[in-house]
Chain A
C-alpha cells in the first residue's frame, strides 16, 4: 500500500516578496472549500511543473493552524540549488493552478511540555510561525530565539516581535550577536522541550550542547530542512520494474524514478521520514548519502539508499524498485 499523501488542487492566491531572498506564497483551494486543518510544524509537498520536469519540494506551513481558508509557505531563493526555489520565485504568479500534498507533520509539538523553547536559524523560522500561532491561541508557554544574518534578512522578525513581544529574542550575525546557548539551556524550568530548525550546523550544535547538559533525548526536537542537492548525472537500473533511467544533474533520484512511471512511497522528500528507503541490489561506485534516516552502518553497507536526497557516482547501480 502506498503511503504517499492525498493531493489538493489549489490556486496561488497571492505572491508577496518578504525580503531580498524570501518570497511568500498563498494557496487556496480551487473549489473554494476550506483546506484541511493542520498542526504547527506540518509541511506540504509542492509539485512544480516546469516544462518537461516536475520537482516536488517540501515547505513548512507558516500560517495559523486556526485559519484554513488559505495555506502560506515562504521560499528562500537558492541560486545554486536544483532550481525549485528559482522556479517558485520566477514562474509562480497569482492565479497559477498548482497541486500540493495534504499536510504532514514530522516536527510536531510535544503537547506535554510545560514550556516550549524554540531555536530558529534563517529560513528555519517557518515552522515556528505556525507553532507559535497554535500555542498562543491555547495560552501555551513558549519562547523563541531567532538568529539571522542581518536585520533585513530576519524574515518575519518584525511580525513575531509585534505578536509576541518579549517572548521573541533576535540575534543578528552582522552585529556579532550569538545565542548564549550554555546559559539558555542551563536555565530552563523542568519539563521544557527544545525545538530547533535551521542549518545542519546549528542543529548539530544545539543537539550536542543539550546532550552534554543532560537534556533527555525525548525533549529535543529538530527538523532538517535540507533540500536535495544537485550533482553529476548518473544511470540506474530499476530491477523490479525493468527500467533503465538517467538521473539528471538537477534532478533527485526519487524524481527520476517517478519520471519513469514508478511511484515509491514518500512523505518528507528531505531524507528524514524513511518512506522511500530503497534496497540496493548491486553497485559499482560510491554513494553520496545525504539523508538523516539510515544509520551510519546502513550507509557503509551499500545495501540501502534514500532516493529523495542521496546520489551516486560510479559505473552501475541496481535498485530494488
Chain B
C-alpha cells in the first residue's frame, strides 16, 4: 500500500491540507508548556511506525506537490540551487544517500539498482526512470545535488568541513523560513548564524559546532526547529518577501484558524562518506491552526508557548504583528488543565 499523494498548492489559492492521519503524525515541537533555545540534538534513529521518523528520510502525502512547487521556484530563481566547484563530490554523496533511503523506506515508489557505477533510478510518483554512471556528471540532466534534490522533500545544505568550521558551500533551498542560500553561500557556521538572537550569549553555537564537526558516518543526528507562517507557503524567502511579508497583516480573529500555520523543521545532520562533508536536510512541515487544535493537548500547549515567548524570539520569528490575535484565539481552547509530558497528542 503506497502513499496517496495530494494534489495541492503552496501559493495563490493555497489548497494545501493535511489528512487526519497526517495531522496525528505532525512533528509537534514542544515537549513542555514553554520554549527556549537549547542544543536539542539527539541521534537520528528510526522512530515509531506512523510518525515522521518511521524512515530517516521521510516521504509523505505532500511529496509530489512539493516537488512541483520547487520546480516553480527554480524556474523563477535558479540561484536557489548553488554548488561551489569543490562540492560536486559531496553532491554525489547526497545523491547516494537520498536514493538509498527513499528506496529503502518506500520500495513501492522508488527503486535503485546498481551494477558497479552503472545505476538505475526509478521514481514512480514523478515518472522518472534514469540510468546513469555514478560519478559522471555528464550522464545526468543536472548536477548530482540538483538532480536528487528536485526529487526529495525539504531543503538541503551541504557543508564543507575544514579549519575546524563548517562552510555553506552548496545547497538547494526553496522552502526556507526567511533565509537565503544566495546570501549565505560560502559563509561559515558563525557567519550564517549571526542574526540569531540570545543563542550566541548562551554559547550554543560554539557547542553546536563542536558537536556537528564530530558527527560520524553511520550516526546521523537531528533536532527540531519551528516558526510560524501565514498561509501554507513553502517559499518564504527574503527574495520573495514582498509576496509573503504583507500576509502577516491579514490575520484577523475570524481567519486565524485557516491562515496561521505552525511551521516545523526537522533538521538532520549526516556525515558524507566520500567528501567528508556534512549534509543538513531541513524538512519543513506545515499545519494550520484549525488542524492543529483538533488535538486538544497541542492547542493548550501552543497557547502557553506563544503567550509566554520572550519578545526577542517573537520578533526574530516574525510573530509580533499577529501574536495578540493568535494568543486570544488559542486562549479560548485552553481550559488551564495540565498537559501530559512529551510531544505527541493524547
Contact = CB atoms under 8 A, between A and B. Distances in A.
Interface stretch (B254-262, B269-277, B309-317, B322-330): B269-277
Contacts of A1: 41-43, 221
A58 to B, nearest CB: 14
Interface stretch (A35-43, A146-154, A229-237, A303-311): A35-43
A5 B276 contact: no
A36 to B, nearest CB: 6
A162 interface: no
Given A110-B162, A111-B160, A218-B163, A37 B216 contact: no
Interface string B210-242: 110010111101000000000000000000000
A111 B42 contact: no
Nearest to B221: A1
Interface residues of A, number: 28
B98 interface: no
B162 A37 contact: no
Contact of A6 (B163, B218, B273): B218
B273 A37 contact: yes
B118 interface: no
Which DSSP category, helix, strand, loop or mixed, fits chain B's interface? mixed
B89 interface: yes
A38 B41 contact: no
Nearest to A267: B214
B273 A108 contact: no
Contacts of B211: 3
Given A112-B86, A267-B214, A275-B214, A218 B162 contact: yes
Interface stretch (A17-25, A97-105, A118-126, A207-215): A97-105
A267 B211 CA distance: 12
B219 A5 contact: yes
Contact of B218 (A36, A138, A217, A274): A36
B42 A138 contact: no
A256 B321 CA distance: 59
B166 to A, nearest CB: 12
A111 B273 contact: no
A102 B214 contact: no
Contacts of A127: none
Interface string A148-165: 000000000000000000
Interface in A16-62: 36-39, 41-42
A259 interface: no
Nearest to B160: A111
Interface string A261-289: 00000010000011100000000000000
Contacts of B123: none
Nearest to A42: B276
Interface in B274-288: 274-276
A103 B89 CA distance: 18
A3 B216 contact: yes
B160 to A, nearest CB: 7
B162 A104 contact: no
A5 B161 contact: no
Contact of B86 (A3, A42, A111): A111
Interface string B64-93: 000000000000000000001111010000
Given A5-B216, A6-B218, A138 B89 contact: yes
A41 B161 CA distance: 14
Given A105-B276, A111-B89, 6 more contacts: A1-B221, A6-B217, A102-B218, A108-B162, A112-B85, A112-B86
23 contacts: A1-B221, A3-B211, A3-B219, A5-B217, A5-B219, A36-B273, A37-B273, A38-B217, A39-B275, A42-B276, A102-B216, A102-B217, A103-B273, A109-B276, A110-B86, A111-B87, A111-B160, A112-B85, A112-B162, A134-B274, A217-B163, A274-B210, A275-B214
Interface of A: 1, 3, 5-6, 36-39, 41-42, 65, 102-105, 108-112, 134, 138, 217-218, 267, 273-275
A-B pairs, 7 with minimum CB distance: A37-B273, A111-B86, A108-B276, A6-B218, A39-B276, A112-B86, A105-B276
